[in-house]
Structure 1
Amino acid sequence: MKLDLHRVLIQPLLTEKVTAMRESNNTVSFLVHPEANRLQIKQAVETLLKVKVERVNVLNVQGKIKRLGRFSGKRSDWKKAFVKLKDGEKLELYESA
């Protein structure tokens, strides 16, 4: 499926684990469109954020089943991408957070 580059990246993920990965491995993480593939994610990051990407790893996260009393529901499934930047590259998006 052909996705617009602006629809591929939904939001950056800011967790303690991602922050540690950013500092040690120069890797950042994004919540991405469920139908986006590695090449589309790489193109979106390089075009929209103007950095060079070395590698993209993708992970499908299954939504948890939650209960409230006798009622049961399920959170949505989602996809996240770990993007390793080339040496010397930085994202200003993460530097201010």
Structure 2
Amino acid sequence: MNQERIFQVLLAPHVSEKAAVLADSNNQYVFKVAVDASKAEIKKSVEQLFKVKVDAVQTLKVKGKVKRNRYGLSAKSTWKKAYVRLEQGQDIDFAVAE
């Protein structure tokens, strides 16, 4: 995987109450990733960007909701979420990512 693809795979950390609980209890972090990204690409990208060892990756697609507005119906886009479990003793600090 080339350097450019590494930065295209991970889009942002997904911040929620559930993500915070998972980070504390299971050493799992949640990321919003590219829709076409595979588990292997996500694993390599996290390992190279944050200098950690990844134990497992679980992915799911979040289906976009249909919303009603004054112009009729519009659809939010579908996106992909990845749950990344790190090996024991590893940690990601989003404030000082290199």
Q: Residue in 2 aligned with 1:32?
A: 33
Post-superposition shift, 1:69? 4.0
| TM-score normalised by the chain length of structure 1 | 0.91
Letter in 1 for 2:12: Q
- Give yes or no for the alignment of 1:23 onto 2:24: yes
Q: State the partner residue of 1:46.
A: 47
Secondary structure of residue in 2 paired with 1:4: helix
Q: How many residues align?
A: 94
Hey, which bits of structure 1, 4+ residues long, moved more than 3 A?
none
Q: 1:94 to 1:64 in 2, by over 3 A?
A: farther
Q: CA RMSD in A?
A: 1.7
Same amino acid, percent of matched pairs = 37
> Which segments of 5 or more consecutive residues in structure 2 lack a partner in the other structure?
none
Counterparts of 1:56-95 in structure 2, within 5 Å, are 56-69=57-70, 71-93=72-94
Distance in 1 separating the partners of 2:75 and 2:7? 28
